[in-house]
Amino acid sequence: MKFIDDFNNPKDPLAVRVERFNRYLNKIRGTHDWMFQRAHGGGAPCSSQKQRGSGAGPRRHFIRLDSNDYLGLGRHPAIKRAFDEAFKLYGMGTDGSPLLSGYSQATLKLEHALAGLHHKEDAVVFASTYAANLAVLQGLLLTSDCVILDQAVHTSVRDGALLAGCQVVIFKHNDPGDLEKILKKTNPKKTLVCVDSVYSMRGCVADLVPLVALVKKSGAMMVVDEAHAVGVFGKKGEGRVCDLGLSASVNVITGSLGKALATHGGYVAADRSLCQFLRYRAHPYMFSSALPPTVSASALKSLEIMRSGALVQKLKTNIRSVREAMKKRGLAVNDDDTATIPVPVGDEVATMQSAARLRKKGILINPSIYPAVPKGRGILRMSISAQHSVDELSRAVMEIAGVGRKK
């Protein structure tokens, strides 16, 4: 849409871009309920929440489809206890970067557990998955190297490529044939291929088996981002790479502590030599404060609960139930059992208005517009949790069917 281009005019002075954006922001906030940066009051599970609206009205009950807490662990009592015990031992802060004074025994134990989850020798914890993806590309690649990215890969991976300053080549989304053509034109010993395991904005999975086989055959290295797969795929939430038996063939796995594990941070899992290389080469690790030990201890407990498998299976049941209900109502949905399900709407304003209408009906759902998705292809992104009840999900699908695009 034209208003998006207005904020990206390279001829404009910096101050003009800022002023123009804020003028538009103030205008759109006045036309319908604004859906971004809504401050909630906490204290509610991921499946429902009492929250004040934009005015001074009474507090209401909402069905939440806007949370990445896929297993509903965010307020688990055992995780709260782990946090409290770590706080008593370590305090809140980290004192410094992980290379200096900020590395704790709690984080060391977490890294060992994450390495085991992905059948790798070692793991490195970061302040976010965004930082983890930046670290892999910036730490590993030089300007003389090449990175090949799936067309739909997460922005953090694209930004990591920019930070590395290397050659960047894009292959068609989930297209092994296109990737094979590109690989034949590169030096595989200086090439890294990056894909997402789950593309959360599309609600689909990577075609990992042929993609991994191609990269392995070529001799290039491969990174798979499992941020939206851990806790969702595999019998005990180990993610798609392990579930498909591909761990030995994927060089680097990145993941999130802030989604199914419901804490904060991200990580890289790989062989020991590569992890050590990143610890001394990756700027997001070297020049950032370490993850607080309270968070590391909480994430370790989350991992333990996830590995019991019960919540993972409950989540899978909920995902299948929602997808079947959406199909019955004629909504466009694929067969990939991801925990995020996009509901296509259209242009940016219509997407925002649809989310606002659903909010008035008691459904909290995230509107995703450019630059999170291509221009004019806004979606409502449903996030399913193990904590949702059958009644909550049935009602949510019924309401969403009134605004979503049919097949």
Q: Are residues 242 and 368 in the same domain?
A: no
Residue 336 has pLDDT above 50, yes or no: yes
Task: Report which DSSP code applies to 328.
Answer: H
Tens-digit pLDDT profile for residues 117-156? 999 999 999 999 999 999 999 999 999 999 999 999 999 9
Q: Are residues 227 and 342 in the same domain?
A: no
In a domain, 406, yes or no: no
Residue 56 has pLDDT above 60, yes or no: no
Mean pLDDT over the full length of the chain: 91
What is the pLDDT, as a whole number, of residue 350? 87
Catalytic residues: 200, 228, 259
* DSSP H or E run through 140: helix 129-140
For residues 13-36, average pLDDT: 78
259 phi and psi angles, rounded to 5 deg: -115, -100
Tens-digit pLDDT profile for residues 200-227? 999 999 999 999 999 999 999 999 999 9
In a domain, 15, yes or no: no
**Lookup: tokens for 83:** 């946090």
Q: DSSP 3-state assignment of 147?
A: strand
Q: State how far the Cα of 210 lies from the Cα of 220, in Å rounded to an integer.
A: 14
- One-letter identity of residue 392: E
Q: Are residues 255 and 349 in the same domain?
A: no
Q: Are residues 223 and 281 in the same domain?
A: yes
User: For the sheet containing 122-126, what is the strand order?
Assistant: 122-126, 266-270, 252-256, 221-225, 191-196, 146-150, 167-171
Cβ–Cβ under 8 Å, residues 381 and 368: yes
- Using the 3D structure, point to which of 306, 323, 353 is the last residue of a domain: 306
Kindly write down the DSSP assignment for every residue of 6-38, as one continuous string. HTT-TTS-HHHHHHHHHHHHHHHHTTS---SS-
For residues 335-352, average pLDDT: 90
Q: State how far the Cα of 384 lies from the Cα of 46, in Å rounded to an integer.
A: 10
In a domain, 407, yes or no: no
In a domain, 102, yes or no: yes
Q: Are residues 60 and 188 in the same domain?
A: no
User: For position 116, which CATH number holds?
Assistant: 3.40.640.10
Cβ–Cβ under 8 Å, residues 130 and 288: no
Q: Are residues 132 and 251 in the same domain?
A: yes
Residue 112 has pLDDT above 80, yes or no: yes
User: For position 338, which CATH number holds?
Assistant: 3.90.1150.10
What is the pLDDT, as a whole number, of residue 48? 66
- Using the 3D structure, point to which of 273, 306, 339 is the last residue of a domain: 306
- Using the 3D structure, point to which of 278, 306, 334 is the last residue of a domain: 306
Kindly give, in sequence order, each residue whose CB lies less than 8 Å from that of residue 210, ignoring residues fewer than 6 positions away. Answer: 176
What is the pLDDT, as a whole number, of residue 95? 85
Q: Which residue from 349, 319, 378, 336 is spatially nearest to 65, judged by alpha carbons? A: 319
What is the pLDDT, as a whole number, of residue 5? 61
Tens-digit pLDDT profile for residues 369-380? 888 888 888 899
In a domain, 122, yes or no: yes
Q: Are residues 297 and 330 in the same domain?
A: no
Q: Are residues 113 and 250 in the same domain?
A: yes
Query: Which band of pLDDT confidence, cut at 50, 70 and 90, is reported for residue 54?
Result: very low
Residue 190, judged by CB atoms within 10 A of its CB (0-12, 13-18, 19+), counts as middle
What does pTM read for this prediction? 0.92
**Distance of alpha carbon 84 from the chain centroid:** 27
Residue 77 has pLDDT above 90, yes or no: yes
Q: Are residues 243 and 154 in the same domain?
A: yes
Q: Are residues 204 and 241 in the same domain?
A: yes
In a domain, 18, yes or no: no
Q: Are residues 188 and 231 in the same domain?
A: yes
Q: State how far the Cα of 386 lies from the Cα of 314, in Å rounded to an integer.
A: 5
Residue 36 has pLDDT above 80, yes or no: no
Number of domain units in the chain = 2
Query: Which band of pLDDT confidence, cut at 50, 70 and 90, is reported for residue 42?
Result: low
Rg of the chain on CA atoms, in Å = 21
Question: Which range of residues forms the domain containing residue 372?
Answer: 2-8+31-73+309-400
Residue 53 has pLDDT above 60, yes or no: no
Q: Is the peptide bond before 371 cis (omega within 30 degrees of 0)?
A: yes
Q: State how far the Cα of 118 lies from the Cα of 268, in Å rounded to an integer.
A: 10
Q: Are residues 294 and 145 in the same domain?
A: yes
